[in-house]
């Protein structure tokens, strides 16, 4: 288990050092004198779609693609460039986002009239720095560091789930400017939503319906069927299987699913975490190997909601890239963006073969 040290930044935001081993000096103080973070975030109900939309206009001023020597996620190494991390070096760091989409301190107001329903954008957004190496990558982290990252995500999943009003904790990584990343330093994020996101809500309903009809877990059934079929398996271990979904939406998409029925990261045992720390970056390296260049991707942990539907939920990690060929990206055009009907140019079986390194 990682060693955890909590401090507060100069604007009172929380920061947590997760160290591979104890004994690190974490006494450095943030001397920037930042003003307290303010959030005007609010969520508005879309009556036609039946889902919440978050409006966060204050984020327009957030940091956008700074030069390397001005990266706010690097350690603070001298007085001329103080960053979000006061220490001169670190293993893994988690801190409250300075420009949060959701915040427990949101100044948004409630308004309910049936057509224009609004609620404060309550929740929390955190940043997870995987390494102090600005030019590093999650796929290149050693297993012991991946293990520390997993400890951090597990710890924060539990902590954020205890915040009143939080219904879902989503941990994810965006990688690559093609994805829309505004900071190139290797990092991820954690969003604590005051509602279950639409995609997870649909999954919850599907899992519940299958369980009511069969008494079994739908994710377990899909995993067993994929293992039996074999054509879409990318990598298989003792505790996890990585496969391309039968109805994959993205050109290259992989689900990493534990064999044991568990709801979230905190439920994984030591053996499962040890294998995951090897398999997860291995899958990412397979993505990078597709076109012999770093792959733009999103990796998101599909965990159980904080409250309802936890018994039927089966943890999964989805990794997908928007690159479909060298120099070509998969755009969400008319059918996908306008009608939410996905059209994939690459057969999942062919994508799995490519990820396995087969010609």
DSSP 108-177: ---B-SSSS-EEE--SEEEEEE--S-TT--GGGS-HHHHHHHHHHHHHHHHHHHTSTT--EEEEEEEEST
Identify whether residues 150 and 218 lie together within a single domain: no
57 vs 148: which has the higher pLDDT: 148
Q: Is residue 315 within 8 Å of 264, Cβ to Cβ? A: yes
Q: To the nearest whole percent, how much of the chain has pLDDT over 90? A: 89
Separation of alpha carbons 234 and 100, rounded Å: 36
Distances (CA, A) of 176 to 169, 172, 288, 351: 23, 13, 12, 20
- The domain that holds 245 is classified in CATH as 3.30.428.10
User: Poorest-confidence range of 50-64, 72-86, 311-325?
Assistant: 50-64
What is the reported pLDDT for 106? Answer: 81
Is the pTM higher than 0.85? The answer reads: yes
Q: Are residues 271 and 174 in the same domain?
A: no
User: Do both 181 and 316 map to the same domain?
Assistant: no
Which candidate, 270, 244, 247, places its Cα nearest to that of 257?
244
> CB within 8 A of 44, min separation 6: which ones?
52, 53, 55, 116, 117, 118
Q: Which residues contact 296 (CB under 8 A, 6 or more apart)?
A: 175, 176, 177, 178, 179, 321, 322, 323, 329
Boundary of a domain, candidates 131, 163, 195: 195
Both 255 and 314 in a single domain? yes
Last residue of a domain, one of 195, 218, 247: 195
Least confident window among 78-82, 181-185, 229-233, 323-327: 78-82
Q: How confident is the model at residue 38 (pLDDT cuts 50, 70, 90)?
A: confident
Do 180 and 229 belong to one domain? no
Report, as an integer, the average pLDDT of 244-266.
98
Do residues 23 and 113 both lie within one domain? yes
Q: What is the pLDDT of residues 109-156, one digit of tens each?
A: 899 988 999 999 999 999 999 999 999 999 999 999 999 999 999 999
Binning pLDDT at 50, 70 and 90, where does residue 60 land?
confident
Q: What is the rounded end-to-end Cα distance, in angstroms, of the chain?
A: 41
For the range 80-84, what are the long-range contacts, defined as Cβ-Cβ under 8 Å and sequence gap of 24 or more?
82/30, 82/31, 82/32, 84/9, 84/15, 84/127
Helix (H, G, I), strand (E, B) or coil at 240: strand
Same domain, 7 and 119: yes
- Determine the structural domain holding residue 293 and report its residue range: 199-355
Tokens of 235: 């990598």
Give the mean pLDDT of 210-226: 98
Q: Specify whether 173 is located in the same domain as 259.
A: no
Query: Do 143 and 206 belong together in one domain?
Result: no
* Residues 185 and 223 occupy one common structural domain: no
d(CA 271, CA 261): 15
What confidence score (pLDDT) does residue 40 get?
A: 86
Residue whose tokens read 């539907």: 309
* Burial of 114 from C-beta contacts in 10 A (0-12 / 13-18 / 19+): exposed
pLDDT at residue 59, as a whole number: 83
Among residues 195, 220, 239, the one where a domain terminates is 195
**pLDDT at site 109:** 80
- From residue 258, how far is each of 109, 169, 219 by CA, in Å? 41, 19, 10
DSSP letter (8 states) at residue 32: S
Give the angle subtended at the CA of 301 by the CAs of 154 and 245, to the nearest 5°. Answer: 145
Q: What is the pLDDT of residue 107?
A: 76
Q: Are 330 and 324 in contact (CB under 8 A)?
A: yes
Note whether 341 and 205 are same-domain residues. yes
Tell me what the pLDDT averaged over the chain comes to.
Answer: 95
Q: How many domains does the chain have?
A: 2
Of 105 and 89, the structure prediction assigns the larger pLDDT to 89
Catalytic residues: 187
3-state secondary structure (DSSP) of residue 237: coil
Angstrom CA distances, 186 to 105, 156, 183, stand at: 27, 18, 8
- Asked if 272 and 182 sit in the same domain, the reply is no
The DSSP call for residue 48 is T
């Amino acid at each position: 288990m990682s060693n955890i040290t909590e401090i507060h930044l100069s604007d009172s935001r929380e920061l947590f050092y997760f160290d591979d081993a104890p004994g690190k000096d974490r006494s450095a103080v943030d001397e920037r004198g930042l003003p307290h973070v303010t959030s005007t975030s609010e969520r508005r109900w879309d009556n036609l779609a039946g889902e919440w939309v978050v409006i966060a206009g204050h984020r327009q001023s957030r940091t956008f693609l700074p030069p390397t020597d001005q990266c706010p996620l690097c350690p603070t190494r001298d007085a001329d460039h103080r960053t979000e991390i006061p220490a001169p070096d670190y293993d893994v760091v988690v801190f409250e986002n300075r420009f949060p989409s959701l915040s427990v301190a949101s100044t948004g107001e409630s308004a309910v009239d049936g057509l224009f329903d609004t609620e404060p954008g309550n929740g929390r957004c955190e940043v997870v720095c995987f390494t102090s190496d600005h030019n590093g990558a999650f796929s290149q982290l050693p297993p012991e560091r991946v293990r520390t990252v997993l400890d951090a995500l597990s710890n924060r999943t539990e902590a954020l789930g205890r915040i009143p009003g939080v219904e879902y904790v989503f941990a994810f990584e965006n990688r690559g400017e093609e994805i829309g990343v505004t900071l190139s330093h290797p990092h991820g994020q954690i969003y604590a939503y005051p509602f279950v996101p639409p995609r997870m809500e649909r999954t919850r309903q599907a899992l519940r319906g299958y369980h009511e009809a069969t008494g079994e877990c739908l994710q377990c059934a899909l995993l067993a069927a994929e293992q039996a079929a074999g054509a879409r398996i990318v990598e298989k271990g003792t505790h996890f299987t990585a496969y391309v979904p039968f109805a994959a939406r993205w050109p290259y998409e992989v689900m990493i699913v534990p064999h044991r029925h568990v709801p979230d990261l905190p439920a994984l045992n030591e053996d499962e975490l040890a294998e995951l720390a090897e398999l997860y970056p291995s899958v990412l390296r397979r993505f990078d190997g597709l076109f012999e260049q770093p792959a733009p991707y999103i990796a998101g942990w599909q965990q159980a909601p904080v409250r309802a539907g936890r018994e039927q939920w089966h943890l999964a990690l989805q990794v997908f890239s928007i690159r479909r060929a060298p120099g070509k990206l998969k755009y969400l055009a008319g059918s996908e963006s306008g009608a939410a009907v996905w059209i994939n140019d690459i057969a999942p079986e062919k994508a799995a073969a490519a990820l396995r390194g087969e010609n």
